[in-house]
Amino acid sequence: MSMKRLFFALDISPRDKNILIHWREQHQFLAVKPVSKDNLHITLAFLGQIKKSAETKLINQANEYVLNTPTLSQHYHLVANELGLFRKPQVLYLAFPQFPSELTKLANYLSAQASKLGIFQEKRDFLPHLSIARKAKLLPEVPSLALPINISSFSLYASQSTERGVMYTPIKSWFFCTKISDCFY
């Protein structure tokens, strides 16, 4: 039986990814492994190894949520203004202390739907963050930051290990839009 390692995440535009990479390069964090530009995202719900039948149900539930949630009909302008460290997994991340409630509700909904399908979900509050480096042992000092990130869609991603490292490939994407016909591609 074929299974995929999946997660839902907010998509970051190529332009904003370039800004993030430029900022990260300016600070040259020591003893860290940078997250590749193509893999930058803001996780909404981690799913793990999923069967095709569960994947289909999750896609259908996300479709239903987008169609029935008119508050998702806008672009979101986020500002990453904190640097943090998850000590145990040694992940350096950017945080968003002010995060739109609509996107938190989306994350909670996707996680709840996964739970209903028997997919393990950690029992903790949603913490919006953007991982920028791994193998970080210390939280470096940085001057105050305010990195703008514009969000106009979210996707269901597959995580695949390759010879070049882990690659995240979108399976299905949803745009935050004003017309229902524009919500899917």
Select from 91, 116, 109, 2 the least CA-distant residue to 49.
2
- The sheet that has 91-95: what strands, in order across it? 33-34, 129-134, 91-95, 82-86
- What is the set of active-site residues? 41, 129
12 to 40, 58, 138: CA distances (angstroms): 7, 21, 26
> What is residue 51's three-state secondary structure?
strand
